[in-house]
Chain A
Amino acid sequence: MKLTINGKPYDVAPKHRDVRLLPYLRDHLGMTGTKFGCGVAQCGACTVHVDGLAKRACQLVVGELAGASVTTIEGLADTHAKGELHPVQQAWLDERVAQCGYCQPGQIMSAAALLGENRRPDDAEIRKFMKGNLCRCGTYDRIVKAVKNAAQKGASR
């Protein structure tokens, strides 16, 4: 079974078909940018893109992703332009969003997916889409600003 992650093909061993994508990424492949926060799709820390849509990696079974293209925070910049940050990542730097930073890969992946669907989301649309991403440090106000900042600069997935 084959799976594409950040543009690279991976052969999934039979013993890994039943495992969840999150530990597969983190513990098997060593791609630790995608975070564990709750394990039950309540916090959004493990958000990745599957064929461009925001998904919680803790809920995905690897064997059900045959042929799919997965993008993680490590590969996000390359979906935009080689050697540069994705506009959402850049907006996160501009607005100085992160405190502890642990939830931010998931926040950024959600925001990038939102802008892929909706180039100019308004305040309410941003909040509605990002509601599944928890941040205990309380960076929400800056997250809203950063998504708007990225939208203004024409971010698309």
Chain B
Amino acid sequence: MTDKQMKQRGLSRRRMLIGSGLALGGIVAFTSGCSLIPPIPNSAASTDKDAASWVRLRPDGRFEFLNPRQEMGQQVATGLRQVVAEELGVPPEAIDILQPNTNQIPPARRTAGSDSIRLWALPLAKASAALHVDLGRRAAKRLGVAAGDLRATEKGFSSTAGKTITYKELAAIEPGVISAREIQAARPKSLRPGTAKRWVGKSPPPDEHRNIVTGKTLYARDVRLKNLAYGHVFHPPVPDAKLRKVSGGKAASLPGYVALVVEKADALLGTGAFVGVVAETPFDLEAIIEAVSVTWSHPKPIQQKDIDKMIDVDLALKGSGMEHTLVSGDVRDKGKWDVDARFDFPFAAHAPMEPRAATALVADGRATIWTGTQDAFFVRMFVARVLDLPEAKVEVRCQRSGGGFGGRALIYVEPEAARLAAKTGRPVKVQWSRAEEFRNSFSRPPTTQRVRARLTKDSRIADWSHAIVSGPILYPSAIPSWVHPVIDLLSDKGVSRSAASPYQAERTYTGFSDIRLPIHTGPWRSLGAASNVFAIEMAVSALARRAGKDPLAFRLANMAPEQKRLARTLKRVAAMAKWDETRPPVRSQSGHGIACGIYKGAYISYVADVRIGGSGQARVERVYCAADCGLVINPDLVRAQIEGCIVWGIGMTLSEEFSIEDGTPAPENFDTYNLPRITEIPSMSIEMVGAGENEPTGMGETGMVAIGAAIASAIVEATGKPVQRLPIRAA
């Protein structure tokens, strides 16, 4: 039975599989680690033992930090280096940053989910502290003094009697080795809230900036090797198309022709048939691409209206309801709702400024891949499987990425370059065009949501019901289809991220369905959180209006008592924006909106001022933000992330969307996918709240929650019209 037939008969695939008994066997295959399973990204957090290889004293007396996180604009190496500096008591400039290859450090999980500070700073701090203890012990021995008589300096150690030894001298004597036991015993001070710090909490300049402004930074597209050839891959028109025919035509006789490579589909890996060409230069490549003809066959391609139906929350609610429950409460379905609102969010693209590219060299049973990725070890695993090599024989060299935003968490271009390199014996670079980036990678899935709520007589929330239907995020469609029956049993926590309401209601229900789509979707900055919090906050503002209350006062009155940190950011942003004093009357063509949200242990509140222009298009004039991500390691980098999220919020709310035409994303370039431009940027006031009081969390995505609802609430106030779908077009 096809999915469609099941849908028509109102059966959920999950229930079918449980009933048929297939599911359990599937789970065993999925988790047993046997070699037949497809490559699955490493999801384990790094350990203290792993951290031992991240920091070292080099023989030349300088410290080196091997950054286990990928660089894509968040500049995490700069912040993490401050942690190392704090523990070692040396200035950050005394520590060199190295972006390690996959054979230089133990496997580390993908760089995603705003986790790099939250989960990596502590093991790094412990390893650095352990290294410092070890160096002190050896310095004491060398100087013949008791460890207690030793004082650390920026250059090394000195004894109370005035004897000194530098790190350079120490390094010359013996290499420093730190054991996992020492790391476990370490008592790092750099992340402890509420203590004075020397380097943590400051904003030293990001380490790569000088190379960036002089054009010296090498991104994946900039990698050049001797004897480099240039490859192109013919992508299928839709993800599940079958290869029918390949004709090289006169390609082989054209100047610069190197090879035409055709490989069969691999169902186990989930890769389709592969057709690629290689040429001596990118100039030769164009004519060779033209000469080759590739024919595919596929069933009738899906259209946007089909997808709209698949993810229609109201159809789902009328049918079997939501597949998963996040918050279970006995909400009273009978009776009139005070708010009954639907919110629709379209497909959205990552659109990093660097379209993906990779260079591969495969020779003597070894492969080397140069790429910019969020998941270097997944690339290693995937390429090893594609080339049938042991993982130890594949090395991934990590270049700085020209933007990530979740878009480089999955694998596309690296195996393409690897296949072409393996077949030609030449180093081959594959660089995607902007059209390939839009149409052949993956995107934020669309979601539709319905929030229903009812007030008590004294303007509290009696019932709160939030239903979410979305395409998949953490279990993306790019996973091989034979694994789908298994992952369909799991609930996609990317879809439900930040969907639990921070407000107190007498009865709360939050449920969601993750619907597989025949379009590649996956993680996009903040996963489902930006949409989920948008729906929550718009509904709360609507409830406040219904109750005749100020939206700030209503929020504070209804916030769950444990959400003190969120409430504090709200109060702070209201004070920054002088919330009570400046609110204009409704429908004056200008409005103010307030909203707040939580993302993985970080809290944020926004006020947005919006004016409706002559064309009817809203313009965001000013944004105020108060945020709390616990201990702040580098305030300027945190601020930069919030600035970026404000711009993303403007895009998401006012311009970004695409639809599916004939089974593929419609846009090919920036003329049909509208990113915010410099003319649309408001002035921004950003403050951190409670920065020293709690453990550090993350800020790469937190800014995405609530900015959309602050802008949209301001538009509702300015126009008097409700908002039902994003982006909000000219009124």
Contacts and interface: CB of A to CB of B under 8 A. Distances in A.
Interface string B611-654: 00000000000000000000000001000100111111000000
B402 interface: yes
Contacts of A128: 679
Contact of B676 (A38, A39, A72, A138): A138
A142 B643 contact: yes
Contacts of A136: 350-353, 403, 405, 675
Nearest to A123: B683
Q: Is the interface of B mostly helix, strand, loop or mixed?
A: loop
A93 B204 CA distance: 12
A39 B215 contact: no
A131 B680 CA distance: 9
Nearest to A19: B283
Contact of A33 (B203, B216, B282): B216
B353 A102 contact: yes
Contact of B281 (A28, A38, A39, A131): A28
Contacts of A141: 643, 681, 683-684
A30 interface: yes
A108 to B, nearest CB: 6
B353 A103 contact: yes
Contacts of B521: none
A37 B351 CA distance: 10
Contacts of A77: 214
B434 A140 contact: no
Contact of A101 (B73, B643, B644, B648): B73
Nearest to B645: A138
Contacts of A36: 221, 355, 431
Contacts of A19: 283
A32 B221 contact: yes
Contacts of B230: 27
Interface string B644-683: 1111100000000000000000000111000111110101
A137 interface: yes
B631 to A, nearest CB: 21
Contacts of A32: 215, 218, 221-222, 224
Interface in A98-147: 98-105, 108, 126-128, 130-131, 133-144
A85 interface: yes
B678 A133 contact: yes
Contact of A96 (B217, B431, B636): B636
Nearest to B216: A33
A59 interface: no
B679 A45 contact: no
A43 B670 contact: yes
A131 B354 CA distance: 18
B679 A127 contact: yes
B281 A139 contact: no
Given A23-B283, A27-B230, A102 B679 contact: no
Contacts of A89: 213-214
Contacts of A15: 283
B597 to A, nearest CB: 18
Contacts of A143: 678
B25 to A, nearest CB: 43
B670 A38 contact: yes
B644 A98 contact: no
B208 interface: yes
Interface string A72-100: 11100100000001000100110010111
A35 B669 contact: no
Nearest to A144: B678
A141 B683 CA distance: 7
B434 A39 contact: yes
A30 B281 CA distance: 12
Contact of B215 (A33, A93, A142): A33
A8 B570 CA distance: 58
B213 A93 contact: yes
A31 B219 CA distance: 13
A77 to B, nearest CB: 7
A40 interface: yes
A30 B221 CA distance: 11
13 contacts: A23-B283, A27-B282, A35-B219, A40-B671, A96-B206, A99-B75, A100-B73, A102-B219, A102-B402, A137-B73, A138-B646, A138-B676, A140-B676
Given A40-B669, A140-B676, 17 more contacts: A23-B283, A27-B230, A36-B221, A37-B354, A73-B214, A93-B209, A99-B73, A100-B353, A104-B212, A105-B212, A126-B678, A127-B678, A135-B678, A136-B405, A137-B73, A137-B644, A139-B643
